[in-house]
Amino acid sequence: MIANLRPAIVSMVLFTALLGLAYPLGVTGLAQALFPAQAGGSLVRNASGEIVGSRWIGQNFKDEAYLRPRPSAAGKDGYDASGSSGSNLGPLNEDLAARIKTDAEALRAESPAPIPVDAVTASGSGLDPHVSPANAARQVPRIAAARKVPAAEVQAVIAANTEGSTFGLLGEPRVNVLAVNLALDARWPRAQR
């Protein structure tokens, strides 16, 4: 019996050490050596060097002077990385329909412009840091009015922070909300609140 158990125990300990410790540590070390910013979370710093977020995790901006993200179902108040997920509500769900209707009415009150779908629907993770160029363009008049600057200049900041398709082939053009908001603050500083 011991003769049969010994190879199994030795194999388990060996593979646990190899695949549970050595391999993850090796991959982590390699990633930190080759891609330090990405392995560190793609953190974004403001002009004074403070960490204000991550390039890949959305945040909720409610102030009128900022580009707002798409809705989030991640966590109780949205954009909670520890609760990353979609709402899992189907297209016929009454709660989802009511939330979309409420959001659409609020957006219509803000502007009569057409409402892009990403302005009222959450992403699968609930943490999407991007909005569509149409969603960003729809918000230009509100941002310009709140900052008391010409709308064309706000649109120029958004255009400068619009990313094209990955490798020119994958995905749609997108606007990183945090990057735009940092660029807006760099160009037209606002008092700390």
Asked if residues 136 and 144 have their Cβ atoms less than 8 Å apart, the reply is no
pLDDT for 65 beyond 90: yes
Residues 106, 108, 110: CA angle, nearest 5 degrees: 75
Q: Is the pLDDT of residue 64 over 70?
A: yes
Report whether pLDDT(175) > 60.
yes
Give the Cα separation of 6 and 8 in Å (integer): 5
What pLDDT band is residue 191 in, cutting at 50, 70 and 90?
low
Determine the pLDDT at residue 53.
Answer: 87
Q: Where are the alpha helices (DSSP H) in the chain?
A: 2-17, 23-34, 36-39, 94-110, 133-147, 151-160, 177-187
Amino acid at 72: S
* pLDDT for residue 29: 93
pLDDT in tens, 79-122: 887 777 777 788 888 988 898 899 999 999 988 889 999 999 88
Q: Given pLDDT bands bounded at 50, 70 and 90, which one contains residue 131?
A: very high
Average pLDDT estimate for 59-64 = 89
The pLDDT of residue 59 is above 50: yes
- pTM of this prediction? 0.79
Q: Report the candidate in 44, 50, 81 with the shortest Cα–Cα distance to residue 192.
A: 50
What is the structure's pLDDT at 137? Answer: 95
